[in-house]
């Protein structure tokens, strides 16, 4: 049976971004998400209530800007079938080097580790474990970034868990040369490095994106 997990973080509303993009909200249908993992830097009660409306099963860890949320844990672990998923914001890590992420995954004894704090999507397999960074759902700027660095692309991830199988979808809000925005989806299945890119302008999360023509 399919179980959809929303992985989202680094929202920074309203200090660095006004809101989650409207095109993302159009895709995220209440009642379709089984569980939400928020990787911190929520900072706004209204956004908290919005995430709760998507799925009452909302798990949150403390981010570096969640200064008032003193009761939030730094890490959490959830289990679905035979898959253990750990998540954290990442500010407790010395760096985002694969070996340090692997050490954290081993410490938490998880198969999948989700981390944030970079505002950039990333996903890779390393030493039989899967690592996912959903990026910033709002495309919030990152203090200290180079002046020549590109602005973060708004993004979030969905994990489709079926038994011991996990399929990852990353949703990114991209802007073309004419300034038109569209949501693109990249799919990584069964921890494979192969990804397929699917352009989506309509539809809702909870319905499988169609495969791209071959």
Residue-averaged pLDDT of the chain = 82
Question: Is 48 within a domain?
Answer: yes
Specify the higher pLDDT residue, 25 or 195: 25
How confident is the model over 21-27, as a mean pLDDT? 93
Indicate whether 153 pLDDT > 80.
yes
Indicate whether 128 pLDDT > 60.
yes
Indicate whether 116 pLDDT > 50.
yes
Specify the higher pLDDT residue, 179 or 52: 52
User: Of the ranges 64-68, 153-157, 198-202, which is most confident?
Assistant: 153-157
Q: How many domains does the chain have?
A: 1
Asked whether 6 and 134 are in contact (CB, 8 A), the reply is no
10 Å CB burial of residue 149 (0-12, 13-18, 19+) is exposed
For the stretch 52-91, pLDDT in tens is 999 999 999 988 776 676 788 999 999 998 899 999 987 7
Residues in the chain: 214
Q: What is the CATH number of the domain that holds 63?
A: 3.60.21.10
Show the domain range for 63: 3-142+151-200
**pLDDT for res 198:** 43
Question: Is 211 within a domain?
Answer: no
H/E segment holding residue 202: none
């Amino acid at each position: 049976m399919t179980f959809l997990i929303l992985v989202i973080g680094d929202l920074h509303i309203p200090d660095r971004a006004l809101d989650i993009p409207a095109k993302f909200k159009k895709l995220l249908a209440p009642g379709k998400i089984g569980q939400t993992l928020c990787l911190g830097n929520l900072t706004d009660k209204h956004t908290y209530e919005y995430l709760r409306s998507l799925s009452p099963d909302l798990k949150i860890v403390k981010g570096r800007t969640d200064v008032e949320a003193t009761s939030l844990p730094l890490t959490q672990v959830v289990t679905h079938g035979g898959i253990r998923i750990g998540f954290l914001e990442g500010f407790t890590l010395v760096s985002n080097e694969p070996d340090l992420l692997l050490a954290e995954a081993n410490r938490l004894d998880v198969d999948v580790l989700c981390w944030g704090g970079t505002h950039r999507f990333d996903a890779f397999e390393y030493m039989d474990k899967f690592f996912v960074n959903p990026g910033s759902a709002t495309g919030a700027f990152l203090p200290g970034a180079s002046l020549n660095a590109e602005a973060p692309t708004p993004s979030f991830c969905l994990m489709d868990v079926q038994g011991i199988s996990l399929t990852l979808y990353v949703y990114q809000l991209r802007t073309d040369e004419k300034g038109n925005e569209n949501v693109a989806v990249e799919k990584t299945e069964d921890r494979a490095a192969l990804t397929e890119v699917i352009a989506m302008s309509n539809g809702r999360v909870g319905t499988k994106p169609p495969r791209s023509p071959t």
